[in-house]
A = this chain, B = another copy of it.
Amino acid sequence: MVLSPDGTRQSTPEVDALVREIIERVADKWTMLVLEALEEHGTVRFTRLGELVGGVSQKMLTKTLRQMESDGLIVRTVYPVIPPHVDYQLTELGHTLSAAFCGVWQWVEKNYDAVHSARRAFAQK
Contact = CB atoms under 8 A, between A and B. Distances in A.
Interface in A1-27: 9, 15, 18-20, 22-24, 26-27
Number of identical monomers bound together in the oligomeric complex: 2
Given A22-B112, A118-B72, A97 B107 contact: yes
Interface stretch (A28-36, A42-50, A81-89): A28-36
A80 interface: no
Interface residues of A, number: 45
B101 A26 contact: no
A57 interface: no
Contacts of A99: 103
Given A27-B27, A104-B100, A93 B71 contact: no
